[in-house]
Amino acid sequence: MRYRVWCAIAILALARAGAARAGECDGVSFPDHITVQGQDLTLNGLGLRKATWFGIKVYVGALYLKHPSRNAAAILNTEEPSEIVLQFVRSVSAGELRGAWRDGFAHSAPGELARLRSRIEQVNGWMKGVKSGERMVFVRIPGQGIRYFLDGTLEGTIKGEDFAKAFLGIWLGPNPPGRRLKAGLLGGKCE
């Protein structure tokens, strides 16, 4: 009888441990694994983007990698696929999105803006306002660049590894839109 009780406790503990690994932040859930280009990617971390001094919640970001890592430089310099998902928890206008991309690239790749400008404008040309609950998905495909999906619909691809690195550097570079957001994407707490 004791053996059965201990087995039941062990099974419950394992089930709870599995639930703890589930990707959830601020009520937004993400799968632990996804498939990109036939490769399994693992949820590396989740981060909450807050804006203004009032800490207004904007989106929950999820970072998926082939090999989970807490090393931002290694992630930026890898030649493996990755995916970043932004699920919005409030509506954001097209103008706000465009401004955020411009600011993000200015902080991520200040010395490369002239070379990246046409591709940044290409991304900005795809920006429409988003509503709460909508997801932007950006898939880094080595040798190709970044593919952008809005709620499952492919909007386009921006070519170039230089662009992909600068793009991911928005969140993982030295000047992210929020330190806690970056820490969360790198496997820390989502707060």
Calpha distance 163→23 (Å, rounded): 28
- Supply the pLDDT for residue 157: 97
Residue 115 within any structural domain of the chain: yes
Task: Provide block-wise average pLDDT over 10 residues at a time, the chain (191 residues).
Answer: 39 36 87 95 97 91 98 95 98 96 96 96 95 97 94 96 96 96 97 90
- Supply the pLDDT for residue 6: 38
Q: What is the amino acid identity at position 161?
A: E
- Supply the pLDDT for residue 13: 36
Residue 43 within any structural domain of the chain: yes
Residue 191 within any structural domain of the chain: no
**Do the beta carbons of residue 169 and residue 36 sit within 8 Å?**
no
Task: Provide the token pair at 110.
Answer: 């200040």
Strands 28-30, 135-141: pairing kind? unpaired
Residue 159 within any structural domain of the chain: yes
**Do the beta carbons of residue 139 and residue 157 sit within 8 Å?**
no
| pTM for the full predicted model | 0.87
Domain that holds residue 89: 23-185
- Supply the pLDDT for residue 49: 97
Residue 13 within any structural domain of the chain: no
**Do the beta carbons of residue 174 and residue 182 sit within 8 Å?**
no
**Into how many domains does the chain fold?**
1
Strands 56-65, 82-88: pairing kind? antiparallel
Strand-pair partners of 49: 59
**Burial class of residue 7 in the structure, from the number of CB atoms within 10 Å of its CB (0-12 exposed, 13-18 middle, 19+ buried):** exposed
- Supply the pLDDT for residue 22: 58
Any idea what the CATH number is for the domain that residue 39 is in? 3.50.70.10
Stated as kind and residue range, the H or E segment containing 130 is: none
Q: What is the amino acid identity at position 48?
A: L
| 32 phi/psi in degrees, rounded to 5 | -70, -30
Q: What is the amino acid identity at position 10?
A: A
Residue 15 within any structural domain of the chain: no
Residue 62 within any structural domain of the chain: yes
Task: Provide the token pair at 152.
Answer: 């499952």
- Supply the pLDDT for residue 83: 98
Residue 76 within any structural domain of the chain: yes
